[in-house]
Structure 1
Amino acid sequence: MEIKLTESIEDYIETIYLESQKHGKGVRITDLALGLNVSKASANDAVRKLKDLGYVEHERYGQIYLTETGTQRAVKVYEKHRIITEYLVKALNVSLANAEKDACSIEHIISEETFNQMKAYLEL
């Protein structure tokens, strides 16, 4: 069974994933903090928790890398984000900016049934 993570922790996993995809390498605490608009101390605390949960590898002052488990979780969170955004834009004609913002909140609370229906609507 998958561990239920807080919205904040899921946002960290997603951000680490996206930043590492963008740059093809690990992510620095500074970049993570900037990307999420949080303090370095908050980013450090979250990374420590993610490391304890087995989602990231991180040595003090080093870069952050998702583990295989972390990558799998990040891909799921990001998939939800992408599909919800697409659904809001295509089915409800929501602006992309608002769809992105709303998807960021919805992705954490949506049921599997509703999510699967969105995917079916989009024929994915």
Structure 2
Amino acid sequence: MVDSLSASKQDYLETILNFSQETGEARSVDIARTLEVSRASVNKSLGGLREAGLVEHEHYGNIRLTEEGLRMARAVRARHNALKLFLTEILGVDPETAEQDACKMEHAISRTTAQKLEEYLSSLKPNKKR
């Protein structure tokens, strides 16, 4: 369950997912640069994620999400995207501020609140013609 992970570990999963989809691989050097942490911090966190069964990582190799890690990373991203959409489209927050705020807020809301937010945003979309 995503709520059981620290905000830091959630950020790692989301960052690994982003790199995997953008470039086809996630490397510790890229994660360190993105999260503005040392490579030693990345390696320590990856060890914890590996022990939790969320990533596969050989020393100096690419980092891959396990099925459970992928599920959790997608859940974090969904929260992030819903919050950013709400902030920009409903509240009129500028995109840069909304991005920063969504990154902070995604870790603080419950699964129930995230689901309600996604339902609300979905209800605002125009019905698609079938």
- Does TM, scored on the shorter chain, surpass 0.5? yes
Rounded Cα–Cα distance in structure 2 between residues aligned with 1:70 and 1:112: 17
CA shift, 1:120, in A, is 2.6
Partner of 1:90: 89
Letter in 2 for 1:82: N
1:48 aligns with 2:36: no
Rounded Cα–Cα distance in structure 1 between residues aligned with 2:114 and 2:28: 32
Rounded Cα–Cα distance in structure 2 between residues aligned with 1:73 and 1:111: 14
Rounded Cα–Cα distance in structure 2 between residues aligned with 1:85 and 1:37: 22
CA shift, 1:35, in A, is 1.1
Partner of 1:28: 27
| Helix, strand or coil at the partner of 2:5 | coil
5+ residue gaps, structure 2: 124-130
The one-character-per-residue Cα deviations of 1:74-119 (angstroms, maximum 9, x if unpaired) are 0000010001000011111011111110011110111233323322
Letter in 2 for 1:6: S
Rounded Cα–Cα distance in structure 1 between residues aligned with 2:6 and 2:111: 17
C-alpha RMSD of matched pairs (Å): 1.3
Letter in 1 for 2:84: T
Partner of 2:127: none
- Paired residues, what number? 122
CA shift, 1:123, in A, is 1.7
| Helix, strand or coil at the partner of 2:122 | coil
The 5 A counterparts of 1:1-124 are 2=1, 4-24=4-24, 26-123=25-122
Radius of gyration: which is bigger?
2
Partner of 2:126: none
TM-score calculated relative to the size of structure 2: 0.89
TM-score calculated relative to the size of structure 1: 0.93
5+ residue gaps, structure 1: none
Rounded Cα–Cα distance in structure 2 between residues aligned with 1:115 and 1:14: 16
Letter in 2 for 1:23: T
Letter in 2 for 1:7: A
